[in-house]
C-alpha cells in the first residue's frame, strides 16, 4: 500500500510500504479521510519523530477486514476513531505518572497512522458513523473531542463571557462549544485573516487581530472587567500572557494548546487577581459519543473550517502550506475517495 512516511525534519515522502497485519482483535480500514492535525505539523516541523513513522490520527474509513475475534463491526461499515471502551468509574487514559505530550507517538508499541491507504487498529478504538454524518465530517470528531473536553473541564457557566485565542480547528470548535455551553458572548483573537473570517461566520461576537489592535484593551472595552474564561488555543509566545490579562479577577485560563517553545509569563501581572490556570489534554472515552452526537444533530459545524481536500501525493506540499503564517487554509484533509 502507499503511505506518507516521515523521513527527516520537514520531509514526508509518499512511498510503498508493507500492508498492515490484522490481529484477532483488529479491524483493517480502507481510509477515506484523514485530517491534518496541528500536533502532526509540530512533530513534522520540529523533527520529533522516528524516521519511517507514519502519522495521521484524525481518520475515518470503511471496514475492509476484521480479526477472528471481532463481532462488533461488519465488512463495509463506515467507522471512525473513538476513545476506546467507556468506563464511567475511571474514564482516564492510562498515561505514565510523568507523561509528557512530547512523548506521544514515540512509544515502541505505537502503530503506524492513517496517512495511508489502509490502517489497522484495535476494534475497541472504533465507533460507527451515523447515517447523517459524512466520512469527511466524521474525520474531525477527534479535534471536536479535544474542544469538548476543554469546555467540560472549564468553569464556563450559562451567561459567562468567553475568549478564544487562536482560531485554528481546535479554537473554532471551542468557539462553538462555548456558545453551546451558554456563553452570552464569545470573542475570538486570531492573527490570520482567513481564520478570523471563519470565526465571524460561525457567530463570534467580536473577532480581533492582536497585531493591529491590543487584545486586552479590546476585551476590557467590551466587557468592563474581562472575560470569565479564556481558552488559549494558539500556543504562541505571547498568547498565554494575553489570556491571563484578558480574564477578570477570579477568572480562568484554560490552556488547550501544545506550545513547543517557551511562552511569555509574568505572574506578578495576574496572581493578585487570583486567576486560575487549568491545563487540558486530549479527551476521555466517554466524550467521543458526545462529540459524534453534536455532529449528528448539527449542533456543531465543521464544513466551514475545511479549506482543502488534498490527495495523498500532495501531503508534503499541504504540510508546508499549513505552516505558513499567512495561509488562507484553515483545515486540510487528506482524501482517499
**pLDDT tens for each residue of 242-254:** 999 999 999 999 9
In a domain, 292, yes or no: no
**pLDDT tens for each residue of 265-280:** 999 999 999 999 999 9
Q: For position 73, what pLDDT does the model report?
A: 97
- For 320, how many CA atoms within 13 A lie in the half-sphere containing its CB? 9
- Do 84 and 159 reside in the same domain of the chain? no
Cα distances (Å, whole numbers) of residue 136 to 58, 61, 112, 304, 305: 10, 9, 21, 12, 12
Query: What cell was used for 289?
Result: 459519543
- Do 203 and 322 reside in the same domain of the chain? no
Range of the domain at 171: 146-279
The tally of domains found in the chain comes to 2
CATH number for the domain including 179?
A: 3.40.50.720
**Total-model pTM:** 0.94
Does residue 225 surpass a pLDDT of 70? yes
- Do 155 and 268 reside in the same domain of the chain? yes
Amino acid at each position: 500500500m502507499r503511505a506518507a512516511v516521515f523521513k527527516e525534519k520537514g520531509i514526508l515522502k509518499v512511498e510503498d510500504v508493507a500492508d498492515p497485519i490484522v490481529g484477532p482483535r483488529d479491524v483493517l480500514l480502507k481510509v477515506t479521510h484523514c485530517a491534518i492535525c496541528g500536533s502532526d505539523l509540530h512533530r513534522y516541523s520540529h523533527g520529533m519523530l522516528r524516521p519511517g513513522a507514519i502519522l495521521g490520527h484524525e481518520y475515518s474509513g470503511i471496514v475492509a477486514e476484521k480479526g477472528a475475534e471481532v463481532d462488533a463491526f461488519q465488512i463495509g461499515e463506515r467507522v471512525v476513531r473513538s476513545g476506546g471502551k467507556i468506563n464511567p468509574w475511571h474514564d482516564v487514559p492510562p498515561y505514565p505518572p510523568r507523561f509528557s505530550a512530547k512523548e506521544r507517538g514515540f512509544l515502541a508499541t505505537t502503530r503506524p497512522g492513517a496517512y495511508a491507504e489502509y490502517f489497522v487498529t484495535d476494534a475497541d478504538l472504533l465507533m460507527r458513523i451515523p447515517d447523517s454524518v459524512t466520512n469527511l465530517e466524521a474525520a474531525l470528531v477527534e479535534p471536536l473531542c479535544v474542544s469538548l473536553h476543554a469546555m467540560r473541564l472549564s468553569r464556563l457557566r450559562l451567561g459567562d463571557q468567553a475568549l478564544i485565542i487562536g482560531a485554528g480547528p481546535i479554537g473554532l470548535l471551542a468557539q462553538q462549544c462555548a456558545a453551546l455551553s451558554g456563553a452570552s458572548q464569545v470573542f475570538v483573537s486570531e492573527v490570520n485573516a482567513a481564520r478570523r473570517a471563519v470565526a465571524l461566520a460561525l457567530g463570534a461576537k467580536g473577532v480581533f487581530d492582536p497585531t493591529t489592535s491590543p487584545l486586552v484593551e479590546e476585551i476590557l472595552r467590551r466587557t468592563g472587567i474581562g472575560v470569565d474564561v479564556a481558552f488559549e488555543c494558539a500556543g504562541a509566545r505571547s498568547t498565554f500572557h494575553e489570556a491571563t490579562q484578558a480574564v477578570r479577577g477570579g477568572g480562568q485560563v484554560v490552556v488547550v494548546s501544545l506550545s513547543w517553545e517557551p511562552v511569555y509569563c509574568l505572574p506578578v501581572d495576574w496572581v493578585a487577581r487570583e486567576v486560575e490556570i487549568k491545563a487540558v489534554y486530549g479527551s476521555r472515552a466517554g466524550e467521543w459519543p458526545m462529540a459524534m452526537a453534536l455532529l449528528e444533530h448539527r449542533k456543531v459545524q465543521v464544513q466551514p473550517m475545511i479549506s482543502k481536500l488534498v490527495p495523498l501525493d500532495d501531503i508534503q506540499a499541504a504540510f508546508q502550506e499549513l505552516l505558513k503564517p499567512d495561509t488562507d487554509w484553515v483545515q486540510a484533509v487528506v482524501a482517499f475517495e
